[in-house]
Amino acid sequence: MVNQSRPALKLLGSSSSNGGVFGQVKVTGECEFRGDLDCSKLACTGEVDVRGGLKAAAVKLTGTCGVEADLASGEIGGTGELKVKGNLRSEKVKLYGQLAVDGDAELGEAVLRGAVVCGGLLSAERLELGLYGPSSVGELGGGKLRVRRSRIGALKNLVTPSGAASLKARTIEGDQIELQYTEADVVRGGDVVIGPGCTIGRVEYRRELRVDSRAKVGQRVRI
């Protein structure tokens, strides 16, 4: 339920705001928030820059959104580009486009189609990552992790192989892991599937390990 004491904010064209506490915030065009923004919902069609932190029950994006500090939201969805210079925390994410987080990303259930860059730990209870561009994370961890090359990414690589749709990570750890076109130093999990295009230095598994003939794996250790 939306808190009725919070005023709604609607911005059109090229505009700016000092930030603050609002109910629903709707931006159509370009807007700069000069401070922290706390709202029940942020709906953006265009470009939004938050020169502080963003806290929202829900974020709906069609365009680009940049956050200078941390972003915390119950739900994030849409199409476009989301850049967070701090940490990202969300229970549910469904994003088509690009996600860039300088710090850590703590997610519940996440479906990401596009390219992802995370400087720290990207963790999720359940993650489906469809790659169509070069992606990288410091560490990837969670419950059920699935990384595949999307159809768009596969077609794109036929035309521009230099922009390979692939994922690079130092370590990947989860209970159920399925990887394609992934390069990692260490992969550690319960059930692990290493698919085509993977280059893995060491795989540690507890129950089952399957490795595609088109993958390269150094050490294979059952723990």
- What's the pLDDT at 162? 41
- What's the pLDDT at 42? 98
CA distance 48 to 45: 9
Provide the residue ranges of all domains of the chain, joining segments of one domain with +.
Answer: 1-103, 105-223
CA distance 197 to 149: 10
- What's the pLDDT at 152? 58
Q: pLDDT of the chain along its 223 residues, tens only?
A: 444 589 999 999 999 999 999 999 999 999 999 999 999 999 999 999 999 999 999 999 999 999 999 999 999 999 999 999 999 999 999 999 999 999 999 999 999 999 999 999 999 999 999 999 999 999 999 999 999 998 754 444 443 444 589 999 999 999 999 999 999 999 999 999 999 999 999 999 999 999 999 999 999 999 9
Q: What is the pTM of this model?
A: 0.91
